[in-house]
Homo-oligomer: A and B are copies of this chain.
Amino acid sequence: MLYGNCIIAQSGGPTTAINSSACGAIFEALNQKAIERVFGARNGIEGILNEEIFDFAEEDLEELKYLKTTPSSALGSCRYRLKRDDSSDFERIFKVFNKYNIRYFFYIGGNDSMDTVKKIHEYAQKINYEICVIGVPKTIDNDLVGTDHCPGFGSAAKYIATSILEMAHDAAVYKSNIVTIIEVMGRNAGWLAAASALTEATDLIYLPEVPFDFKRFEKDVRKVYEEKGKVMIVVSEGIKDNLGRYISTLESIGGHDNFGHAQLGGVGSVLEKYVKENIGKRVKKIEFSILQRCAMHYSSKTDIEEAYMVGQQAVLYGIQGKSGYMVGLKRISNDPYACETELVDIYEVANLEKKVPSHWINKEGNHVTKECIEYLAPLIMGEVSIPTEKGLPRYARLKMRILAHPIN
């Protein structure tokens, strides 16, 4: 067992659950005798490079508890990618690690962050620096390999399905018909769009995994419109045509009108215009935008608890001397739902992307299968009780005071 200090940092796009993972790691680290001081780095690996480091012991314990139900990345984030061919970043990082006697590094993030975990682990081995480097998964995109699902996804899924259900109630009140187009995140993997299948209010789902065809789309929309009069369409921001071109950036479509302004609004705007001009129906376009990744106010209890667990387990695995791994989630059973953690070799995770498997997409390519819904269903279970103040959620307020006189 290594004795020394630990550092915890967050990276990549924020989620509602990433602070819960930080919270789990912080409290477990504070609890471990082998770990003397528990540091945080501001803005991920950038905070280590810039020596923007703070000590969690300076925080009020009650505030730290609020972290579990605080959305977004409280420690700050970055999208910095370490340069493999340039060792200056690594030299700098390990100089800082050495100065602060860091023997545990827990990095919470997505694909790119797992690449950082891998590189730091490799460099530590190369220079014989004793440290446990463990990745903690998070991403609303659910596209990490080596884990049944990703903390952060369940809450985004719950928010999306709930909002669609509510919007369907809204659309139902007037006798007049309407086509609603909802754009959700997901550049290459359609998990968030797939999650919209958790409510029966969703009629059509278009994923990046299926090449998008305007004519087939038109046929789909007309069919549902004729049956129901109201059409609820969910589309991933990253859908592409059969040549791999993003629909959101298409300037013209099969001899139809010019879509020069599409880049302003993304794929939702392109489809909105298409429905107006080619199907001639009343249409409303809605983007959940960043709300789908920060709406803690209706998050999944399962997700927030699992996020806490993977953070906590990262520390426990570190104490066992493990390094160069990500903490994965392994589904033990689906009904009743049970999930535990396992270690996943970081080489099997970094830079890879898990897409919605083709056998979970229906043959028409406009919805998902029953098996997919069964996989998704347990991830949105349970509601989180959020402390409030003056009628609004009360989120953690950390000091994160940068150490002015760093320890030797």
Which A positions have Cβ atoms within 8 angstroms of B?
10, 14, 43, 46, 70-74, 76-79, 158, 161-163, 165-167, 169-170, 172-175, 198-199, 261, 264-265, 269, 272-273, 284, 286-287, 289-291, 293-298, 300, 377, 380-383, 388, 390-393, 395
B162 near A392 (CB under 8 angstroms)? yes
A170 near B71 (CB under 8 angstroms)? yes
B395 near A165 (CB under 8 angstroms)? yes
Chain B residues with CB under 8 Å of A261's CB are 261, 264
Q: Which of A166, A265, A383 gathers the greatest number of chain B CB atoms within 10 Å? A: A166
Closest-CB distance, A228 to chain B (whole angstroms): 15
17 contacts between A and B (CB under 8 A): A14-B169, A14-B170, A43-B175, A72-B166, A72-B169, A161-B391, A161-B392, A162-B297, A166-B291, A166-B294, A167-B290, A169-B294, A169-B395, A265-B269, A286-B287, A300-B391, A382-B391
What is the bound-complex CA distance between A295 and B170, given in angstroms?
Answer: 10
A393 near B198 (CB under 8 angstroms)? no
Chain B residues with CB under 8 Å of A14's CB are 169-170, 173
Apart from A14-B173, A76-B174, A264-B273: 15 A-B pairs, beta carbons within 8 A: A70-B169, A71-B170, A76-B172, A76-B173, A76-B175, A161-B391, A163-B291, A165-B393, A166-B393, A167-B294, A169-B395, A198-B392, A286-B287, A286-B289, A382-B391
Chain B residues with CB under 8 Å of A173's CB are 10, 14, 43, 72-73, 76-77
Q: Which of A14, A46, A76, A173 gathers the greatest number of chain B CB atoms within 10 Å? A: A173
Chain B residues with CB under 8 Å of A286's CB are 287, 289-291
B170 near A72 (CB under 8 angstroms)? yes
B167 near A291 (CB under 8 angstroms)? yes
A296 near B166 (CB under 8 angstroms)? yes
Q: CB < 8 Å: which of B72, B166, B291, B390 contacts A172?
A: B72
What is the bound-complex CA distance between A287 and B295, given in angstroms?
Answer: 15
